[in-house]
Amino acid sequence: MTKKDELFKEPVQNGAFEFDEKVAGVFDDMLNRSVPLYKETRQMAVRLALNFIKPYTRVFDIGCSTANLLIDLSKKLNESPIELIGIDNSPWMLEKAKYKIKEESVDNIELRLNDISENLEIENASVIFMNYTLQFVRPLQRESLVRRIYEGLNSNGCFILVEKVLGNNSMFNRFYVEIYSEFKKQQGYSDKEINQKREALENVLVPYRLDENTDLLNRCGFETVDLFFKWYNFAGFIAVK
């Protein structure tokens, strides 16, 4: 059973946000209540991926957390000969993922504990997902990581990236922050919780503008890039090799 996210109700002592055991314990509730259209965006990503998945290839989810996306995808594949591989650097997230995979009776998902900023091995990939993860990678390391993703994709494979993004100027950013705060209040978070989490994420989650994300994908070799989702300060990209 998913626990309710109340991590930021009381004063936070530890400073920066971490994907530790406490966060893993409430992460599914946190996603559903703090990421706008989380389930819908996940379904969109899976539906797009089905156009690119080829038999006897691999699908990677980088930053898979509790494996929601891979479980959804597995149910759509109908025993196709596809390897599904989830990668995360949090052992607590992967423990939750293992439990959910077993609970859903899914047997074609492999989980790997890996620090993607230092070591990432990808080969024979027809699809690579990276949802709400690149924003946590240090900006100086992002280009080399995306290049490795590009190199690991097969020809005509796709990279699906969903991120928090910045507006093109301070006026839009102010609007988006206000709207996003209103969204979280509607999900039951208090002003105190919202402010404490924002402070904990400062300098940990570093978003790019839309054009910065597109330029990054282009520089790394992706010539075909499209925006398939946009909600104020959240966006989904699909890039084809």
Residue 8 lies in a domain: no
User: What is the average per-residue pLDDT within 158-166?
Assistant: 97
pTM of the model: 0.94
Output the pLDDT for position 8: 84
Q: Which long-range contacts (CB under 8 A, 24 or more apart) does 112-121 make?
A: 112/85, 112/86, 112/87, 112/88, 113/88, 113/89, 114/87, 114/88, 114/89, 115/89, 116/62, 116/63, 116/87, 116/89, 116/145, 117/141, 117/145, 120/62, 120/87, 120/145, 120/148, 120/149, 121/152
Range of the domain at 156: 21-240
In a domain, 224, yes or no: yes
Give the pLDDT confidence score for residue 203 in this predicted structure: 83
Query: Do the domain assignments include residue 7?
Result: no
Burial class (CB in 10 A: 0-12, 13-18, 19+), 169: exposed
Task: Report residue 10's pLDDT band, with 50, 70 and 90 as the boundaries.
Answer: confident
In this prediction, residue 118 carries a pLDDT of 74
Task: Count Cβ atoms within 10 A of the Cβ of residue 182 and give its class: 0-12 exposed, 13-18 middle, 19 or more buried.
Answer: exposed
How far apart, in whole angstroms, are the C-alpha atoms of residue 42 and residue 52?
Answer: 16
The predicted pLDDT at position 13 comes to 63
pLDDT given for residue 1 in this prediction: 58
Task: Give residue 117's pLDDT.
Answer: 74
Mean pLDDT of 194-212: 92
- The CATH number assigned to the domain holding 49 equals 3.40.50.150
Contact 197, 17 (CB under 8 A): yes
pLDDT surpasses 70 at 12: no
Q: How many domains does the chain have?
A: 1
On whether the CB atoms of residues 184 and 34 are closer than 8 A, the answer is yes
- Look at residue 3 and tell me if it is in a domain: no
pLDDT, tens digit, 9 for 90 and up, residues 89-104: 999 999 999 999 999 9
| Cβ atoms within 10 Å of 90's Cβ, excluding its own | 21
pLDDT of residue 14: 65
Give me Rg for the CA atoms of the chain.
17
pLDDT single digits (tens) 108-148 = 899 999 988 777 889 999 999 999 999 999 999 999 999 99
Is residue 10 in some structural domain? Answer: no
In a domain, 4, yes or no: no
Strand pairing partners for 62?
87
Confirm whether 100 is domain-assigned: yes
233 within domain boundaries:
yes
Beta-strand relationship, 109-113 and 125-131: unpaired
| DSSP at 121 | -
